[in-house]
């Protein structure tokens, strides 16, 4: 929490303060779990790792929803595909790097296979296609007993998924996975940040704001949409592979439509198109229900999703730009307002 607060406060302060805030934040992120690990707050390390996986997924989904403005309601399907591919390979004693690469490759290929025909569709039709695909993937995983072991999940009795071992290092505890995931999230943030400020990112935002105008300005709309779609699958594939090695177990029930919805909420809550906002959003969807569980006590713990639904409605009405809106977007809005004012004065 302190980490995030310190980063939030710096967003409008000078560059130097920003550097200090980032280093303090990273220091907390690095040392915090190490110190907590032996105390009674050790569960926070695991929770942090789970939040990290959601952050990776939300970063990927943000490329599609936040930057290009396409609603995807079945993103969990690709997380599932990544997890199952990695699980199947790991059961056959493949090293982790092979599992991850294969998971990413298969996820991206399937994503493109769905994306190519689907990306021609208008916003909410695309949402329904992705939703349908998400359900089909979950049901197929559930029904293809011979490969996926159906609802009982992988691995089968007598098989096992070995923990990750990289460069002679075996990842055996929650702490190890926390650091691995934190590293991936930082890398993901950096990639998304660079994309945001590149030609590609600007093309995506142009498509989001006005597809026809973007096309007239020479943006290859289809190519850019496919690119965003494909890249988002990389995040899902990596997250899926790490998840399955950490849990060493996977069932289709982890990838319901509900989870896809939560991810969309993470992106919207945080602020569509804002990289750090999405990180905050993912943190919120994991942490808020946990915190509410403690605050509300065991009898009212079930009310937390009720409050969650309510907060989504209120956010949509009162703060559609998200908790931590993208800087570019708010600047553009401010400029647009200023423009209106000057027009008003000249009249």
Partner 1 sequence: MILQQLVNGLTLGSLYALIALGYTMVYGVLMMINFAHSEIFMSGAFVSLVSYMRLVRILPPIEALLISIALAMGSSALLAILVERFAYRPLRRSARLTPLISAIGVSILLQNAAFLFISDQSLAYPQIFTIHHFHGWGFEINSLQITILVVAFVLMLSLHLFVNKTRLGTAIRATAQDPATASLMGIPVNAIIALTFLLGGALGGVAGALNGMYYGSIKYNMGFVPGMKAFTAAVLGGIGNVPGAMWGGFILGVIESLAAGLIPSGSEWKDVIAFSILIVILLFRPEGLFGQRVTDKV
Which of the residues 159 through 188 are near partner 1 (CB under 8 A)?
none
CA quadruple 126, 130, 135, 137: dihedral sign:
positive
- What is the C-alpha to C-alpha distance for residues 98 and 110, in angstroms, rounded to an integer? 18
Shortest separation between residue 259's beta carbon and partner 1, angstroms: 12
Structure tokens at 148: 């996926």
Shortest separation between residue 12's beta carbon and partner 1, angstroms: 25
Shortest separation between residue 247's beta carbon and partner 1, angstroms: 24
Rule CB under 8 A: say whether 257 interacts with partner 1.
Answer: yes
Q: Which is nearer to partner 1, 316 or 338 (CB)?
A: 316
Q: Which is nearer to partner 1, 65 or 87 (CB)?
A: 65
Shortest separation between residue 314's beta carbon and partner 1, angstroms: 8
**Of 122-130, 225-233, 276-284, 338-346: span binding partner 1 (CB under 8 A):** 122-130
Other beta carbons less than 10 A from residue 291's beta carbon: 13
Q: Which is nearer to partner 1, 127 or 244 (CB)?
A: 127
Rule CB under 8 A: say whether 71 interacts with partner 1.
Answer: yes
What is the DSSP track for 65-124? IIII----S-THHHHHHHHHHHHHHHHTT--HHHHHHHHHHHHHHHHHHHHHHHTTS-HH
Q: Which of 63, 78, 114 is nearest to 267 (CA)?
A: 63
Q: Which of 23, 16, 15, 14 is nearest to 6 (CA)?
A: 23
Rule CB under 8 A: say whether 146 interacts with partner 1.
Answer: no
Rule CB under 8 A: say whether 222 interacts with partner 1.
Answer: no
Query: Can you tell me which of 19, 30, 113, 123 binds partner 1, judged by CB under 8 A?
Result: 123
- What is the C-alpha to C-alpha distance for residues 322 and 318, in angstroms, rounded to an integer? 9
Q: Which is nearer to partner 1, 84 or 171 (CB)?
A: 84
- What is the C-alpha to C-alpha distance for residues 193 and 305, in angstroms, rounded to an integer? 32
Q: Which is nearer to partner 1, 65 or 205 (CB)?
A: 65
Rule CB under 8 A: say whether 131 interacts with partner 1.
Answer: yes
| Cα distances (angstroms) measured from residue 4 to each of 81, 252, 286, 337 | 31, 32, 14, 30
Query: Can you tell me which of 127, 205, 227, 242 binds partner 1, judged by CB under 8 A?
Result: 127
Decide: 74 and 130 in contact? Cβ < 8 Å.
yes
Rule CB under 8 A: say whether 298 interacts with partner 1.
Answer: no
Alpha-helical regions (H) of the chain: 2-10, 15-36, 43-62, 76-91, 96-118, 123-143, 145-148, 174-196, 199-209, 211-216, 221-247, 257-270, 275-300, 304-318, 327-346
Rule CB under 8 A: say whether 333 interacts with partner 1.
Answer: no
Query: Can you tell me which of 165, 315, 323, 327 binds partner 1, judged by CB under 8 A?
Result: 315
Rule CB under 8 A: say whether 316 interacts with partner 1.
Answer: yes
Place of tokens 């290859």: 220
**Of 166-174, 180-188, 265-273, 332-340: span binding partner 1 (CB under 8 A):** 265-273
Rule CB under 8 A: say whether 339 interacts with partner 1.
Answer: no
Query: Can you tell me which of 310, 331, 336, 338 binds partner 1, judged by CB under 8 A?
Result: 310
The site for partner 1, by CB under 8 A, has a size of 42
Contact residues toward partner 1 (CB under 8 A) are 65, 69, 71, 117-118, 121-125, 127-129, 131-133, 135-136, 139-140, 143, 212, 257, 261, 264-265, 268, 272, 302-303, 305-306, 308-313, 315-317, 320
């Amino acid at each position: 929490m302190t980490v995030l607060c310190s980063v939030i406060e710096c967003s409008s302060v000078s560059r130097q303060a920003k550097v200090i805030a980032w280093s303090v934040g990273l220091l907390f992120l690095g040392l915090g779990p190490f110190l907590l690990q032996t105390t009674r707050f050790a569960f926070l390390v695991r929770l942090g790792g789970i939040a990290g996986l959601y952050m990776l997924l939300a970063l990927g989904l943000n490329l599609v929803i936040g930057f290009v403005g396409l609603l995807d309601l079945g993103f969990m399907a690709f997380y599932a595909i990544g997890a199952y591919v990695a699980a199947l390979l790991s059961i056959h004693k493949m090293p982790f790097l092979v599992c991850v690469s294969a998971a990413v490759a298969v996820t991206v290929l399937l994503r493109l296979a769905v994306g190519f025909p689907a990306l021609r569709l208008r916003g909410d039709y695309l949402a329904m296609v992705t939703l349908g695909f998400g359900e089909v993937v979950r049901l197929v995983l559930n029904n293809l007993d011979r490969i996926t072991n159906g609802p009982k999940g992988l691995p089968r009795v007598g098989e096992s998924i070995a923990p990750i071992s990289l460069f002679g290092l075996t990842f055996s505890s929650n702490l190890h996975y926390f650091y691995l995931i934190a590293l991936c999230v930082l890398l993901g943030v950096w990639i998304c940040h660079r994309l945001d400020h590149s030609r590609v990112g600007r093309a995506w935002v142009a498509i989001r704001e006005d597809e026809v105008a973007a096309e007239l300005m020479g943006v290859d709309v289809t190519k850019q949409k496919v690119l965003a779609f494909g890249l988002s699958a990389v995040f899902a594939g990596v997250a899926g592979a790490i998840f399955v090695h950490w849990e060493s177990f996977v069932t289709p029930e982890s990838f319901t439509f509900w989870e896809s919805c939560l991810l969309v909420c993470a992106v919207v809550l945080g602020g569509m198109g804002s990289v750090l906002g999405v990180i905050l959003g993912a943190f919120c969807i994991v942490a808020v229900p946990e915190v509410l569980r403690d605050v509300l006590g065991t009898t009212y713990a079930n009310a937390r999703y009720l409050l969650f639904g309510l907060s989504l409605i209120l956010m949509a009405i009162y703060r559609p730009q998200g908790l931590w809106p993208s800087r570019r977007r708010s600047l553009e809005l401010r400029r647009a307002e200023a423009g209106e004012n000057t027009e008003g004065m000249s009249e």
